[in-house]
Amino acid sequence: MADKKVRIGGASGFWGDSSVGAPQLVRRGDIDYLVFDYLAELTMSILASARMKKPELGYATDFVTVTMKTLLKEIAGRGIRVVSNAGGMNPHGCAQAIAALAAEQGVPLRIAVVEGDDVMPLLPALREAGVRDMQKGLPLPARVVSANAYLGALPIKQALDGGAQVVVTGRCVDSAVTLGVLMHEFGWASDAYDQLAQGSLAGHLIECGAQGTGGLHTDWDQVPGWDDIGYPVLECSADGSFTIGKPPGTGGLVSPATVGEQVLYEIGDPANYLLPDVICDFTQVRLAQVTPDVVRLTGARGRAPTTTYKVSATYAKGFRCNAQLTIVGVDAVAKAERTAQAILARTRRLFAENGWSDYTRTHVDILGAEASFGPHARTRHTREAVMRLAVMHPEKAALELFAREVAPAGTSWSPGTTGSGNGRASPSPSIRQYGFLLDKRMLKPAVVMDGVRTEVPIPAGDADAARPVPPDAGAADAADAGMPQDGVEVPLIRIAWGRSGDKGDTSNIGLIARRPEYLPLLRRQVSAERVAQWLAHLVKGRVTRYDLPGFHAVNFVCESALDGGGMASLRNDPLGKAMAQILLTMPVRVPRAWAEAMQ
């Protein structure tokens, strides 16, 4: 067992990821397992909307119609086992579609379904008990469309232990599709917390596809072969240590910088990364380049998980509509702004005539004018801009009227108006997210295979497990933020790599010092207080900084930062993808010798 290696390929980071990942890994990755993560929080909102229209849907159809249809015979022939959370809100429907495909192609296939994440039957009792949402303490909405708990890796392990060749799950934490494989292969017990933490870190690195192999890297110009970027391959050992690489001959870049960025992606407190199976501490994680495009990771530590699951619910609240127009010529930005205000004024007048209320919310972005940078924008005089107008209203008919009144701008107002996108915008239900905690004892996860349903024993957890470590005192650093007197001002990007992401309405921004000696200066000058000031046009809540000294990194957690997040947000960047890029433009002062060496 000590010499055993297990190779796992991560083929998908979300529903809509490229179709090149799975074939590349199957044919060039020399893998034992192929895992897929489809279920971003936004994806669950989309699946909820799809199931409202067609009850037989609610799963990631591309997994069946594109990936498995094309690769099923090769996967079976090579003895590769597959684990995917493509089941979404309808894992049995997804499994049935795969079974029909296997029968059609004459491929014998044992398929297991993980069920038990559906919380909808419990909602009446939870509403009566006064359940509150995790972020803002709001009561359970009246019209809940879906409610699914983030299950862990134990059901996946049990399915693989039972001989499943394909495991289809509903909602589980993204890293569980990898951790379940490792628990099965190495026989890790449910209380082997350090190994579970390492396995969860491994899963976290590949749950976003090519983001772990050079995708979204700060130094994007150093990443070769975007068109054939390699998808990640883990090689894991029984002690929990692992390397991450990519198939030979593919593009992309695997380095401590690219991998470190992904370690930071969408985490909160790195000493308390809460998962159903383990609470991870990533603060002492270390990354080492083993060979070109292969990085080894060690140092994750774990402890007992909490007694609760996180539940992601979705609910319908009115309708939303996005429209856009391109404005060309001198003063394009001013013309675009006036166009947006004219559309709003006209439609508000028409709403009143029809007896409708005002918009619930409106949001205008002038793309091309550095709208995301707020007061730090430098471009007001571009000769081409895109007016993006997003609105919400309780009545669908009101937004249908809004959609009709966008195109007339092309003949009524600004010269150079063109480019209305894909034609008239269409209103859609506004599906929003609502997260809360649920006692694990209230759910009974199970595996269904060969017509037999078997419950999965889940440890109760530790009620006192989530003991937070006091975060770094950013405000104290602000008083000590002395800039070198002989220093030179440079943008933060010159001394740090960065990546950002979302969890509901919270955005996290991780920064890694480009050189270990840069870290003290980074910590002095990039305090939580200063980040809050720089991003004040976007972040409306608290900013907290956490340290990851193992690889010279810090993580900023920014609350109330995404205008509600996901489908509740009207911003052009509802997932916080641009937050790090905006922060990396913030000026810092470095010694002159450093600045000269950076040339």
Q: Where are the beta strands (DSSP E) in 49-207?
A: 81-84, 111-115, 144-149, 166-169
Q: Where are the domains of the chain?
A: 6-116+151-305, 319-432, 474-597
Kindly tell me if the per-residue pLDDT of 49 is higher than 80: no
Closest CA to 240 of 280, 270, 209, 289: 280
The 10 Å Cβ neighbour count of residue 101 is 16
- Using CA atoms, how far residue 40 sits from 122, 207, 333, 533, 555, in Å, is 23, 10, 34, 29, 21
**Residue 172, token pair as written in the block:** 């589980």
CB 347 within 8 A of CB 428: no
pLDDT average, residue stretch 5-24: 96
Give pLDDT, residue 547.
98
pLDDT tens for 288-305 read: 999 999 999 999 999 999
CB neighbour class for 97 (10 Å; exposed up to 12, middle 13-18, buried from 19): buried
Q: Topology of 319-432 in CATH? A: GMP Synthetase; Chain A, domain 3 (3.30.300)
The 10 Å Cβ neighbour count of residue 510 is 27
pLDDT tens for 56-113 read: 788 999 999 999 999 999 999 999 999 999 999 899 999 999 999 999 999 999 999 9
- 349 CB-side CA count, 13 A: 6
- 267 CB-side CA count, 13 A: 34
Tell me the pLDDT of the chain averaged across its residues: 94
**Helix, strand or coil, per DSSP, at residue 76:** helix
Question: What span, in angstroms and rounded, lies between the C-alpha atoms of 244 and 266?
Answer: 19
What is the CA angle 265-564-39, rounded to 5?
50
pLDDT average, residue stretch 265-269: 96
The 10 Å Cβ neighbour count of residue 560 is 18
Question: What span, in angstroms and rounded, lies between the C-alpha atoms of 395 and 15?
Answer: 29
DSSP 572: S
The 10 Å Cβ neighbour count of residue 449 is 19
Phi, psi of 64 (to 5 degrees): -85, -55
The 10 Å Cβ neighbour count of residue 471 is 15
**Residue 337, token pair as written in the block:** 């702004």
Kindly tell me if the per-residue pLDDT of 587 is higher than 90: yes
pLDDT tens for 475-530 read: 444 434 445 567 899 999 999 999 999 998 999 999 999 999 999 999 999 999 99
Categorize the per-residue pLDDT at 471 as very low, low, confident or very high, splitting at 50, 70 and 90.
Answer: low
Amino acid, res. 250: T
End-to-end Cα spacing for the chain: 50
Give pLDDT, residue 566.
84
Question: What span, in angstroms and rounded, lies between the C-alpha atoms of 493 and 218?
Answer: 8
pLDDT average, residue stretch 436-462: 96
Kindly tell me if the per-residue pLDDT of 549 is higher than 80: yes
The 10 Å Cβ neighbour count of residue 55 is 10
Kindly tell me if the per-residue pLDDT of 569 is higher than 50: yes
pLDDT tens for 325-378 read: 999 999 999 999 999 999 999 999 999 999 999 999 999 999 999 999 999 999
- 27 CB-side CA count, 13 A: 12
CB 522 within 8 A of CB 555: no
pLDDT average, residue stretch 241-262: 98
pLDDT tens for 519-541 read: 999 999 999 999 999 999 999 99
Give pLDDT, residue 145.
85
DSSP 527: -
